[in-house]
A and B are shown apart, each in its own frame.
Chain A
Amino acid sequence: MTTHVLSDTRVLTARSLTHIVRSPDTIITTAVTPIVLMLLFVYVFGGAIDTGSTESYIDYMLPGILLITIASGVAYTAYRLFLDLQGGIFQRFQSMPIARSSVLWGHVLTSLVANLVSVAIVVGVAFVMGFRTGASVGAWFAVIGILVLFTLALTWIAVIAGLSAKTVDGASAFSYPLIFLPFVSSAFVPTDSMPGPVAWFAENQPVTSIVDTTRALFAGEPVGADIWVALAWLVGIMAVAFGFAMRIYRRRAS
């Protein structure tokens, strides 16, 4: 049973990647909203926002935009998983002699690929709009690593939503609070401009440390202790979400 985990996962990942290639609108839709937000913030609100630094506003807000891209992208992962459960093909896979976990891993790896493509599109548009970075190759790899961890953490939350949803709408509703989390963080305005309790929440929620780390990496500055706070959040969320997802999966699968 366990000897085929890798090959079964590869076959099932290829299957759901085919779904994305045949309906690329899921990637485009994922990229459009953050791009519109980026246009809005840079060309409408940006002039009135004082970030207290000399860097251009698009450099300041891009990390937050990338997190919003991923938070909206994982909604499709929950959606695709939910459709498999509804359509009966999930039952077929479960009654076949294949490694059971590969059914979930296929969706998780597809989520990773799809979200990285969406992120690449958004970064491309940001470059056209004037985003510039002095990041070294190492810093780029660190940024990609953080975004991969963020995608995996959110994807496992999406798996919980997809496995436990009763309706299509329910499967993707979990992503709305995740999309809004960057707005109450250091992603668009400095947290010290916020009233006390809001500033406290913004300072201590995961997005702020992730945004600050990514921003420092893009600017070619030292990341300080923020990166450890960010990694702790990411690994912690991923571990908890993974644990819950597997428990629900085993219950559904038995």
Chain B
Amino acid sequence: MTAAAPVAAAAPAIRVRGIEKSFADVHVLRGVDLDVTQGSIFALLGSNGAGKTTLVNILSTLLKADAGAATVQGFDVAADAGDVRRSISLTGQFAAVDEVLTGRENLALVARLRHLKDPGRIADDLLARFSLSEAGDRRAATYSGGMRRRLDIAMSLIGDPPVIFLDEPTTGLDPQARIEVWQTVKALADGGTTVLLTTQYLDEAEQLADRIAILHEGVIIRSGTLAELKRLLPAAKVEYVEKQPRLEEVFLALVGDPARGGATAAEPTRKESR
């Protein structure tokens, strides 16, 4: 998968030790420690302003930490920034696509900047993989939020970086687009890519992540698997509760669940709507 990985398979893909960062007099990160295993999905959970984006920006070499150390694929983010950039892709909080260019041109642009052969074919392959082939020759400005996010993630996959950062990948997306993004992320991890994603949605972390860390006021207050985090609370009680469908399930049944392929459940729409 990757050419640049001087680390043994057992070493963590991302290792963060005592990272601190302040902006003016605001102490955003106050000593963050975490390890992300190769090929796993790691969710960084936190409310707005918890410092998630700051941490991702430090790991993707956009910001320098005030104190502490971090490595990605064994490369130090401060000393070996160039090697880190060769090992990662960042999908930022706001879809970083060029709106004037078409979807195909956006993908080819990234392929050229990564010095890959045959950028046109790479673009076509990714358009097909992300169900954007039909929209490939339209300007990205005409895309819906979900299409734009898919294009954004597709751009991040070019060159098969072993580590991908996704900063709030589903913020502002409708439920179907969210599920599409989730499927993409799961497929990435299945293919061996390490994914660090930030989210403020608890269900997103629950759905996707192998490990979850909760970032609060600049420190990781808890981290572990979902099961481990659940054990922090008193043991489950058995209660009898009438099983009501969640609104999300109703919505997806009515408009067609992309996870189950297309608008097969479109028929009841008529009956249900008055």
Residues of A at the B interface (CB closer than 8 Å) are 1, 4, 7-8, 11-12, 15, 18-19, 22-23, 87-89, 91-98, 253-254
Contacts and interface: CB of A to CB of B under 8 A. Distances in A.
A253 to B, nearest CB: 8
17 contacts: A11-B109, A11-B112, A12-B113, A15-B98, A18-B101, A87-B94, A87-B98, A88-B93, A89-B98, A91-B90, A91-B92, A92-B92, A92-B96, A92-B155, A95-B61, A95-B85, A97-B86
A97 B114 contact: yes
A1 B113 contact: no
B62 interface: yes
B113 A11 contact: yes
Contacts of A4: 115
Given A1-B82, A15-B98, A96-B110, 12 more contacts: A11-B112, A18-B100, A18-B101, A19-B100, A89-B96, A91-B62, A91-B96, A95-B60, A95-B61, A96-B85, A96-B89, A254-B63
B255 interface: no
Contacts of A253: 62
Nearest to A103: B113
B97 interface: yes
Interface of B: 60-64, 82, 85-86, 88-90, 92-101, 105, 109-110, 112-115, 155
A192 B160 CA distance: 68
A141 B64 CA distance: 46
B100 A8 contact: no
A254 B62 CA distance: 6
B88 A95 contact: yes
B136 to A, nearest CB: 16
A202 B99 CA distance: 44
A85 to B, nearest CB: 11
Nearest to A21: B100
B62 A87 contact: no
Contact of B90 (A15, A23, A95): A95
Contacts of B93: 88
Pairs A-B, 9 closest by C-beta atoms: A88-B96, A92-B96, A95-B90, A97-B85, A88-B94, A97-B86, A95-B60, A11-B112, A1-B82
A19 B106 CA distance: 12
Contacts of B94: 87-88
A23 B98 contact: no
B52 to A, nearest CB: 15
A253 B141 CA distance: 26
B96 A96 contact: no
Nearest to B61: A95
Nearest to A8: B113
A12 B114 CA distance: 12
A98 B105 CA distance: 18
A19 B140 CA distance: 13
Contacts of B110: 92, 96
Given A92-B92, A92-B155, A98 B100 contact: no
Q: Tell me which of A4, A94, A253 has the highest count of chain B C-beta atoms within 10 A of its own C-beta.
A: A94
A7 B99 CA distance: 23
B62 A94 contact: yes
A1 B93 CA distance: 26
Given A88-B95, A91-B96, A97-B114, A18 B61 contact: no
A91 B109 CA distance: 15
Nearest to B98: A89
Contacts of A98: 113
B109 A15 contact: yes
Q: Tell me which of A1, A7, A11 has the highest count of chain B C-beta atoms within 10 A of its own C-beta.
A: A11
Contacts of B63: 254
A45 B101 CA distance: 45
Contacts of B155: 92
Nearest to A23: B100
Contacts of B113: 8, 11-12, 93, 96, 98
B101 A95 contact: no
B100 A22 contact: yes
Contacts of B109: 11, 15
Contacts of B100: 18-19, 22-23
Contacts of B101: 15, 18
